[in-house]
Amino acid sequence: MLILIVPLMKTFTEKIIEFNQSLNYDGTLPAGIRIMNPFRDDHQVVEISSEFYRKFYDDPQPRHLILGINPGRFGAGITGIPFTDTKHLMNDCGISYNGRQTHEPSSVFVYDVIKTYGGIKTFYSDFYIGAVCPLGFVIRDANGKEKNFNYYDSQELTEAVYPFILQNIHKQLAFGVARDVCFCFGTGKNEAFLRKLNNQHGFFDRIIALEHPRFVMQYKAREKQLYIDKYIKAFGLIRNEVQD
């Protein structure tokens, strides 16, 4: 009797954890710029992020992809989870953390959106947040203090990490994300870069760009609710399409 062994389908959790643990940039960077890889810089990040993804993504269902810019020092740079600082990791996600406490304005805005959308479980059942460049960068200012640096802040850096970015967008698509719509955090350089990539490679049918959470919190804090409403309206499109 022939017995067929059918391999079990990997869950979203397993795909994300494998992706995070395999992240590595071994190319050359412009002088003065350092790569930030939290999954290799701090062993606790792997444990924290893995617990998060097992808690909210342990199923095979597809999600819609949200792409930010690249990890920052006080959000994903500490927790390994985009737009999640240690405060929201503990208070909202219910995951314990021992170490330096961080507060990131972008995380505050995103979790306000998540609450309005219907809560953490509902939101993370529909969306996976990644980044155009899944590893971050830092540079020292004139006083020797490290600051976040974006992949597009230097043409030389953009060119250096371009193959890395392209490779890892393909890897994130392989998670099984929906490709009808991608949401982009950032209506300036991040949107322009992602649209150019999409025109060349046809990743998504459509890209919807939203003002970056950091921009809202830094320059439009008094109008925060208007931007939350804008996010909710945009995210609601995927529910309408499913219902149709």
* Domains present along the chain, CATH in parentheses: 30-243 (3.40.470.10)
Percent of the chain, pLDDT > 90?
83
In this prediction the pTM is 0.92
**Predicted confidence (pLDDT) at residue 96 exceeds the cutoff of 80:** yes
The pLDDT of residue 99 is 86
Tens of pLDDT, residues 64-88? 999 999 999 889 999 999 999 999 9
Task: Convert the pLDDT of each residue in 160-182 to its tens digit.
Answer: 999 999 999 999 999 989 999 99
Dump pLDDT digits (tens) for 43-59: 899 999 999 999 999 98
- In order, the DSSP letters of 71-137 are --TTTHHHHSSTT--HHHHHHTT-----S-----HHHHHHHHHHHHHT-HHHHHHHEEEEESSSSEE
> How do residues 131-159 score in pLDDT, each as one tens digit?
999 999 999 888 888 899 999 999 999 99
pLDDT at 240 over 80: no
* Phi and psi, residue 132, nearest 5°: -55, -45
Q: Locate all alpha helices (DSSP H) within the chain, ordered by sequence.
A: 12-22, 38-41, 43-56, 76-79, 86-91, 105-117, 120-126, 155-173, 189-201, 213-219, 224-243
pLDDT tens for each residue of 111-126: 999 999 999 999 999 9
Residue type at 201 in one-letter notation: H
| Chain segment 13-32, per-residue pLDDT in tens | 999 999 999 999 999 999 99
Q: Report the pLDDT value the prediction gives residue 244, as an integer from 0 to 100.
A: 45
Q: Rg of the chain's alpha carbons, rounded to an integer?
A: 18
